[in-house]
Chains A and B, each alone.
Chain A
Amino acid sequence: MKYGYYPGCSLERNARAYHDSTMAISKPLNLEFVEVDDWNCCGATEYIALNKIPAFALISRNLALAADQNIGENLVAPCSACYLNLKKADHYLAETPDLKQKVDTALEAGGLQYQPGSINVQHLLETLVLDVGFEAIEEQVQKPLYNLKVAPYYGCLVPRPAAMDSFDDPEHPISLDKLIEKLGATVVDFPLKAQCCGGHMTQISEDTALELIRHLLKNAADNEADMIATICPMCQLNLDAYQDAVNARFGTDYHIPIVYFTQLMGLAFGIPAKKLGFGKEIVSSRAALEKISDEAPQPVKNSKKVQKTSSLPMPIMIEEG
């Protein structure tokens, strides 16, 4: 399957591990990612805070380029902010004639044009879960990640795209949980899995950001996660690079490596760790990865959920997924 690919600024350098691992797993999964030529920054969460029309024009240049370059109608963005911006621009251009007219005029000044709806923006997780499917992913697993306890972390911008249908539940997404299970790893309970990492607050109001990061690290640690798997460069950066600052501020001692879910997929597919960008994380994942065993763990029920005889029955949950 051929897809347009929009890496975004983070994947060029800071989140290079995300890019490298995405490329590494694409081959066994028969995915062809064609990068949009000469793409520009999506504006992250900054441009829209300054000026509306330029913010949408900036994003739309990418959509126009993607539509023009004959790389297929599906455009995959691994970065959550890029994904949301691209998808949101396409959505609002289609539904707001005044915005579209102004953006059209701006694009025209650069000799470009874009018809909303001609590009289908997907997050990488969406592509893997919906288009590739759990079965095909499971088929590629050669070295199951037995015994590795992973907290799946979704963040905000993928499960909750405003005003647009998300492919997963905005409050309790489960697609990444299921994917990681297919890799043989143990998914730990991680109730804060869709909570905020602080976003750009690390730059603006460190107090706000460190408190939010602390909640997440504490929740993962309390549930005995060996590592947190993310789908977003911003989440990775905040939880990884600011873990020391959290420890210093709150007197804690967290050492939880933060890796991209694609790195774990690559590892399970038998791809060497080096090719997957392992080692670039600031909190080293080495110790955690050493826990991976060749034998499948005995299925143990979460102690929280074991019912004592005197206890009252829990409400029956509707079959998930």
Chain B
Amino acid sequence: MTDSLTSRPPTFYDEVVAETLGLAENLKTCLQCGTCSGSCPSGPDMDYSPRTIFAMIDAGMKDEVLRSNTSWYCVSCYYCTVRCPQEIPITDLMYSLKRMSIQAGHYQEADLDKAPEFSETFMNFVENNGRSFELGIATRYHLRYHPLGAIKLATGMGLKLFTKGRMDITPTKIKNISQLKSILNKAKELGGAA
């Protein structure tokens, strides 16, 4: 970055807080102590540490935050949340950043674009069947995005799971799928994009 930072536009911070449940306004009280980033199991893979992300949110660096891979590397282990000395719901904030990144159309620029793709494949199955379906999700996800991975899957672990009777060939469908679809369609109307 060649430009120096200008004053903090407050809107991005407010957007992030509004998108998050629980005590998200505690984000204001971040002490920049780094407990979250020190606790993070996938922290070393992130381009910005969670603490840095919070400083960037405060500085209004919306594009940089939503393009970063930080939230996509979150494994949802909640260590940051229980250890944060200011009781900031960090794991939930990471989920908010994921959603905002998709909505802003930025996620493909993060170097972990597989993550949203996996989530979307997974949920397509759930939306259509009511249940998830490992084999279907994995093959479709890999065929669509990572064909090499699909071959590995079919010959390696997938095969093992299959022979152990731990993988279905066809998905299970719930009885009242139309009810679920009505609920989810209504929820999507109320909940914005995606």
Contacts and interface: CB of A to CB of B under 8 A. Distances in A.
Direct touching of A and B (C-beta under 8 Å)? yes
Interface of A: 9, 12-16, 38-41, 43-54, 56-58, 61, 92, 95-96, 99, 102-103, 105-112, 156-157, 160-163, 170-171, 195-196, 198-201, 203-205, 207-208, 212, 241-242, 244-245, 279-282
Given A46-B123, A51-B191, A212-B41, A204 B118 contact: yes
Given A43-B123, A51-B194, A204-B112, A110 B180 contact: yes
A48 B89 contact: no
Nearest to B113: A204
A40 B126 contact: yes
Given A53-B187, A212-B41, 18 more contacts: A9-B132, A38-B175, A41-B126, A41-B132, A51-B192, A61-B183, A102-B187, A106-B184, A162-B92, A163-B23, A163-B81, A196-B42, A196-B77, A196-B79, A199-B75, A203-B141, A212-B75, A280-B164
Interface in B79-126: 79, 81-82, 89, 91-92, 95, 98-99, 102, 112, 114-116, 118-120, 122-123, 126
Contact of A160 (B73, B82, B132): B82
Given A50-B123, A92-B22, A282 B161 contact: yes
B148 interface: no
B51 interface: no
B187 A196 contact: no
Given A46-B122, A48-B95, A204-B115, A162 B183 contact: no
A205 B112 contact: yes
Contact of B78 (A58, A109, A157): A157
Nearest to A200: B118
B131 to A, nearest CB: 5
A282 B19 CA distance: 41
